[in-house]
Structure 1
Amino acid sequence: MHSFQELTAAFKKRFEVNHFPAEPASLYEPGAYFLNIGGKRIRPVLCLMANELFDTITPDAWHVATAIELFHNFTLIHDDMMDKAPLRRGLPTVHTKFGNSTALLTGDVMLIVAYEYLNKIALTYLQRIIGIFNQTAKQVCEGQQLDMDFEKQDNVQPDNYLHMITLKTSVLLAASLEMGAILGGASARNCQHMYEFGKNLGIAFQIQDDYLDAFGDPEKFGKDVGGDIRQNKKTFLLLHTLQNANAAQQAELEQLMQSNATDKVEKVLTIYRACNVDSWAKDFKEKYVIKALQHLEDVAVVSARKKSLLELTDYLISRDS
């Protein structure tokens, strides 16, 4: 069994090949630029780890892992455009550096290349894997649309937000684990436990992401801290604060959400801290970590084989970037 760090290094080495043709350079170079920015490669490595949980890592798992990472980066390019984000991992986003039209096409072609990798897997698994991949891709798009819809709505409830992030973030982690398990020959029950492990871990991961966007160190986080606040995103932090703030704090928050003042982020964070939302977020995250770990515990393989997944879980929920 390999550790998360070992599989990450192995995947990064394989992934550093050129996934695109040379011409037209104006289309393909922005894609290579974005992939070269890097990233944690968590989703593809989850696929590999789930595969190895049940068997030796297969060539098909490497193909699917590559497709997952290309798909994830496609969503990031388009998400950055929709969010008007200037930075990704501390460097200019594709639309900032190359323009919106090129960013749109670069994301599109990255998705197509992802399917080229999926098409390399054995026919035995192809239909099932593509079915999961397609369902997940649609759900991610649904989640992104709901995220944008929520920006214009005043009555978003925490359960609505939970549903949105499950689609936007969690299902891709879940599907990565499920597809890896399938390629490893896991039973249907074990595949379901792997999916639920990933889904709950993904929710905890998003809660941590919301937390870091508000309270993280921008040098470690790689993005502008307070970006969600500036865009009035209905994050767990905001929704919890609106439900628990006193009347004066609620009124100030609602006024700040209509404002573009330079001190908007600072003032919102002051209210967050007054409502203890930072400590609440940590407790809320832990609730989903416990759910995730229970599903991993229920996977019918010897506990020693789960060590690397347990270490990864700890890393994801304790990260500061």
Structure 2
Amino acid sequence: MQTNEQLLSAIENHLAQIGFPAEPQLLYAPIGYSLAGGGKRLRPMLVMLAAGIFTDRVQAALPAAAAVEVFHNFTLLHDDIMDNASIRRGKPSVYARWGQNVAILSGDAMMICAYRLLSEVPAPLLPEILSTFNAMALEVCEGQQYDMDFEQKQKVSVVEYMHMIELKTSALLAGATVIGALVGGASEEDCRRLRRFALELGLAFQLQDDLLDSYGDERLGKAIGGDILEGKKTYLMITAMSRADEPAREVLRTAHRDASLSDAEKIARVKAIYDALDVPRLAQQQIQLRFERALAVLETLSVERARTERMRSYAESLIDRKR
């Protein structure tokens, strides 16, 4: 099987060869701009690695891998509109550069393109892969709606938050992994187990994202404290709210809106409460629990352990981003 670097190169080449028309320019140029923006290519890598557990002919999974990545980028175009986000991966978002109407329509075209790519998978597998893709896509939309609902909700529980990120983040990882396994010829039981693996991995990944936003290294390329400044209900914020006394809760609720404080002061005040309530340790504990659950699932697959090593190594690299 190819190395991870070779798989990533194959994914990039496949995406580059999709061949969008030149006209109408305002429909297709933003799509090319979005797909050329880089990113981790996490979801197509999971497609390829899952296929590789069951077959050495992983090239057959490239259309599905590209479909999942195009779909993921479509969701980002629409997310940026909903979040009024001007930056995506260190560059102006499609929404900021071309406006709302272009971002909506180019996003719609990307979703259609994702289905066109998906139609290139082996015909006997298409019904099951299409069913998996559709279920995944709807779950992502459900998760996004819950995320938006939380902005207006006074109190959000940890259980509600975990359900939301399972839909918004983990479901796409799980769908990608199962689709790759199907292309590789996995059994129904192995697909079910890999779905659980990816759901747990996705939860660990998102929780670590929450933690890194407040406690990461700026050399990762992401400014520290963005979630705090936006007043986002992350795992850290929700956990702190559940453990704090009322004066501390008031600070957590209002610091991001306090015009008398600089951004650095807002971040420092909230993090001081997090630290006092042991929130970073609790988050790390939850990350480790979810990650260990994910790895344990790989042990139950009906293949030799050696065939899961690439997936295991890749998963470890995702949960070791701070170093």
TM-score normalised over the length of structure 2: 0.94
The answer for the alignment partner of 1:206 in structure 2 is: 206
Separation (CA, whole Å) in 2 of partners of 1:58 and 1:10 = 10
1:256–1:95 distance in 2 versus 1, CA, 3 Å = same
**1:58 Cα offset (Å):** 4.6
Secondary structure of 1:298's aligned partner:
coil
Identity among equivalent positions (%) equals 40
Q: How does 1:163-202 map to 2 (within 5 A)?
A: 163-202=163-202
1:302 is the counterpart of 2:304: yes
CA distance in 1, matches of 2:79, 2:19: 21
Letter in 1 for 2:121: I
For the residue of structure 2 that corresponds to 1:38, the secondary structure is coil
Task: Quote the residue 2:231 is aligned against.
Answer: 232
- TM superposition shift of 1:228: 2.2
Question: Does structure 2 retain, via aligned residues, the 8 Å contact 1:81–1:95?
Answer: yes
Distance in 2, matches of 1:309 and 1:52, equals 9
In structure 2, relative to structure 1, the CA distance for the partners of 1:78 and 1:219 (3 Å cut) is farther
Q: 1:168, CA displacement in angstroms?
A: 0.2
Q: Which residue of 2 aligns with 1:134?
A: 134
> Which residue of structure 1 lines up, in the alignment, with residue 147 of structure 2?
147
Match of 2:153, SS? Answer: coil
Q: CA deviation at 1:257?
A: 5.2
Contact (CA 8 Å) 2:198, 2:294: kept in 1 or not?
yes
Taking structure 1 as the reference length, what is the TM-score of the superposition?
0.94
Quickly say closer, same or farther: Cα 1:282–1:5, change in 2 above 3 A. farther
The aligned counterpart of 1:253 is: 252
- Post-superposition Cα deviations, 1:126-184, rounded to whole Å, max 9, x if no partner, equal 11111110110000000001001001101211000000000000011111111111111
Q: Which moved more, 1:211-220 or 1:90-99?
A: 211-220
Q: Residues 143 and 156 (structure 1 numbering): CA distance in 2 closer, same or farther, change over 3 Å?
A: same
Q: Deviations over 1:2-49 (max 9, x none)?
A: 333331222122222244211011111111111111111111111111
- Give the partner amino acid of 2:233: K
Contact 1:214 1:229 in 2 (8 A): yes
Contact 1:51 1:61 in 2 (8 A): yes
* Corresponding residue number in structure 1 for 2:279: 277
User: 1:217 Cα deviation (Å)?
Assistant: 3.4
Q: Is the 8 A contact 1:63 1:117 kept in 2?
A: yes
Aligned pairs for 1:33-52 within 5 A: 33-52=33-52
Asked whether the 8 Å contact 1:48–1:57 carries over to 2, the reply is no
Counterparts of 1:85 and 1:272, CA distance in 2: 26
* Residue equivalent to 1:28: 28
* Partner Cα separation in structure 1 for residue 2 and residue 300 of structure 2: 21
For the residues of structure 2 that align with 1:98 and 1:12, how far apart are their CA atoms? 24
CA distance in 2, matches of 1:99, 1:287: 42
Aligned 8 A contact 2:231 2:253 in 1: no
Whole-angstrom CA distance in 2 between matches of 1:256 and 1:99? 31
Partner of 2:57: 57
Distance 2:62 2:290 in 1: 29
C-alpha separation in 2, matches of 1:142 and 1:259: 32
User: Which residue of the partner structure matches residue 270 of structure 2?
Assistant: 268
Structure 2 gap segments, 5+ residues each: none
Greater shift, 153-162 or 57-66, is seen at: 57-66
Gaps of 5+ in 1: none
Task: Provide the aligned length of Structure 1 versus Structure 2.
Answer: 320
SS at match of 2:36: helix
Which residue does 1:112 correspond to in 2? 112
Q: Which amino acid aligns with 1:188?
A: E
CA 317–58 in structure 1, closer or farther in 2 if over 3 Å, else same: closer
1:211-235: CA deviation from partner (whole Å, max 9, x where unpaired)? 122222345244x433322332211
Distance 1:251 1:312 in 2: 41
Q: Which amino acid aligns with 2:190?
A: N
Q: Distance in 2 between matches of 1:101 and 1:225?
A: 31
For 1:135, the aligned partner's letter is A
For 2:22 and 2:262, locate their aligned partners in 1 and report how far apart those are by CA, in whole Å: 44
Tell me the distance in 2 between the aligned counterparts of 1:177 and 1:218: 30
Distance in structure 2 (CA, Å) of the matches to 1:284 and 1:121: 37
CA drift of 1:117 comes to 0.5
Q: Tell me the SS of whatever aligns to 1:319.
A: coil
